[in-house]
Amino acid sequence: MDGRDLNDVRLGIVGLGYVGLPLAVEFGRRYPTVGFDINPERIRELRAGRDSTLEVSEQELRAAKRLTYTDDLQDLAGCNTYVVTVPTPIDEHKRPDLTPLESASRAVGKVLKKGDVVIYESTVYPGATEEVCVPILESVSGLAFNEDFFVGYSPERINPGDKVHRLTTIVKVTSGSTPETARFVDTLYASIVEAGTHLASSIRVAEAAKVIENTQRDVNIALINELALIFNRLGIDTLEVLEAAGSKWNFLPFRPGLVGGHCIGVDPYYLTHKAQEIGYHPEVILSGRRINDGMGAYIAEQVVKMMTKRRIHVVDANVLVLGLTFKENCPDLRNTRVVDIIREFEDYHARIDVYDPWVDANEAYEEYGILPVRELREGHYDAIILAVAHRQFVELGAEGIRALGKPHAVLYDVKSILPREAVDARL
């Protein structure tokens, strides 16, 4: 690869979701950039100046003067640097699902030219970029890796709904398939990321760094969740314990809860998949995953016990779940574990209403078969589960939420956002 001048860069961003759009907008302020997505509806809304993920404002979209949007692959043919930002989910057996990544690689391979660079941002296990993606690029394009085209890896660090930690304010890890490519990738990202970059020695190191970021958080949250299970049996309030322990300067401020989303509940399985492939069984990581994956069922079980003690029949009971997204104050439904609570109550044949002012009802139905209600009914519910700490629920307060239930309704606060004395139980 020759020492490419940034003035010659023509970017193609493949995938315009929570990761790709902020990247396309930031690059589009400086470089000719084409944002590509296979969803025509997504392209239409972006061309109209709207972002349904709420990650980018209308003003920010307008500021990207050199950015265009397309769902036509041939519009990428004029680019010389491609950034792939597609999802990397897991399947129903908790195994990495690289289908979107493979499809994106085939698409890029069709327009790849001699001298081009392909940069991947999707979270993968160490080795996936060079073992899975590169062979597809070579096969489809007919070009030779590290001779005709080059590859970089710079893992995304997007935090949906976070207006403080943004693309430009988070240090960006970079890497490349050759020293020259690595320097190019690093310089390219350094031109838009104010916080700076960290150039890794290889693509595999950068891949591993990304996958352990969320694995570390997952294990830490699993520990706190397990402590919550213990303290519940001891009749001790978990939040009070954590606040007391948190008075020490080096105590890590994790909280119990449901672990979902596109990263924490998914990324560890990528690492454990690769570990098992090379003959190592990761005990701590998988143990943490089992604990976190079981929290929805545990919460439902606790609510059912409290209902039973009050002689409230669970079958045909009216249950309200407040919040469906995987985290507060954002519309992101990916891998939300609130669904686990809902499924448990469906098994009891309870009547469940789900209310979330942040959610697109059609998306919730398409993804999970759940149609959120549009309005709340006062005095209607036998049990209320506050599952997500949206600001609307905080503003509603304990009194407002209690008003939605019958006089002896159970109120369970998953996120511990209401006063302890105002709820029947909290995680």
Q: In what order do the strands lie in the sheet with 425-426?
A: 351-355, 318-322, 381-386, 405-413, 425-426
Residue 163: which pLDDT band, with cuts at 50, 70 and 90? confident
Residue 125: which pLDDT band, with cuts at 50, 70 and 90? very high
d(Cα 77, Cα 4) in Å, to the nearest integer? Answer: 18
pLDDT of residue 44: 97
Q: What is the pLDDT of residues 340-358, one digit of tens each?
A: 999 999 999 999 999 999 9
Query: Looking at residues 93-109, what average pLDDT do you find?
Result: 96
Longest dimension (CA), the chain: 75
pLDDT of residue 363: 94
Query: Looking at residues 8-37, what average pLDDT do you find?
Result: 97
Query: Looking at residues 71-84, what average pLDDT do you find?
Result: 97
Q: What are phi and psi of 46, to 5 degrees?
A: -70, -40
pLDDT of residue 263: 85
Contact between 150 and 178 under an 8 Å Cβ cutoff? The reply is yes
Structure tokens at 67: 């950015």
Count other C-beta atoms under 10 Å from residue 424's C-beta.
18
Contact between 226 and 303 under an 8 Å Cβ cutoff? The reply is no
Contact between 33 and 24 under an 8 Å Cβ cutoff? The reply is yes
pLDDT of residue 15: 97
Query: Looking at residues 398-406, what average pLDDT do you find?
Result: 96
d(Cα 324, Cα 62) in Å, to the nearest integer? Answer: 31
d(Cα 407, Cα 384) in Å, to the nearest integer? Answer: 12
pLDDT of residue 110: 98
257 Rama class: left (phi>0) / alpha (psi -120 to 50) / beta: left
Check whether 53 has a pLDDT greater than 70: yes
Mean pLDDT for all residues in the chain: 95
| Nearest C-alpha neighbor of 421 from the set 297, 248, 237, 204 | 237
pLDDT of residue 158: 84
Q: What is the pLDDT of residues 277-320, one digit of tens each?
A: 999 999 999 999 999 999 999 999 999 999 999 999 999 999 99
d(Cα 369, Cα 191) in Å, to the nearest integer? Answer: 43
pLDDT of residue 395: 96
Three-state DSSP at 345 gives helix
Q: What is the pLDDT of residues 227-271, one digit of tens each?
A: 999 999 999 999 999 999 999 999 999 999 999 888 888 999 999
Structure tokens at 183: 């320097």
Q: DSSP assignment of 349-416, as one string?
A: T-EEEEE-TTS-HHHHHHHHS----SS--TT-EEEEEE-S--HHHHHHHHHHHHTTEEEEEEEEETT-
Q: What is the pLDDT of residues 356-366, one digit of tens each?
A: 999 999 999 99
- 79 among known catalytic residues: no
Contact between 192 and 218 under an 8 Å Cβ cutoff? The reply is no
Structure tokens at 292: 């976190």
pLDDT of residue 232: 94
Check whether 2 has a pLDDT greater than 80: no
* Among 151-160, 199-208, 316-325, the least confident range: 151-160
| Nearest C-alpha neighbor of 172 from the set 300, 27, 44 | 27
d(Cα 154, Cα 122) in Å, to the nearest integer? Answer: 8
Check whether 162 has a pLDDT greater than 90: no
Contact between 332 and 303 under an 8 Å Cβ cutoff? The reply is no
Structure tokens at 415: 């996120």
pLDDT of residue 109: 98
pLDDT of residue 287: 96
Q: What is the pLDDT of residues 29-43, one digit of tens each?
A: 999 999 999 999 999
- Specify the pTM: 0.92
Integer CA distances (angstroms), 251 to 244, 259, 292, 322, 388, in order: 10, 21, 21, 31, 25
d(Cα 311, Cα 261) in Å, to the nearest integer? Answer: 36
Annotated catalytic residue, options 79, 133, 263, 330: 263
Query: Looking at residues 198-213, what average pLDDT do you find?
Result: 97
Q: Higher model confidence: residue 160 or residue 426?
A: 426
Check whether 94 has a pLDDT greater than 60: yes
Contact between 52 and 67 under an 8 Å Cβ cutoff? The reply is no
d(Cα 109, Cα 118) in Å, to the nearest integer? Answer: 10
Cite the beta strand spans of 88-244 per DSSP E: 117-120, 150-153, 172-174, 197-199
Check whether 3 has a pLDDT greater than 80: no
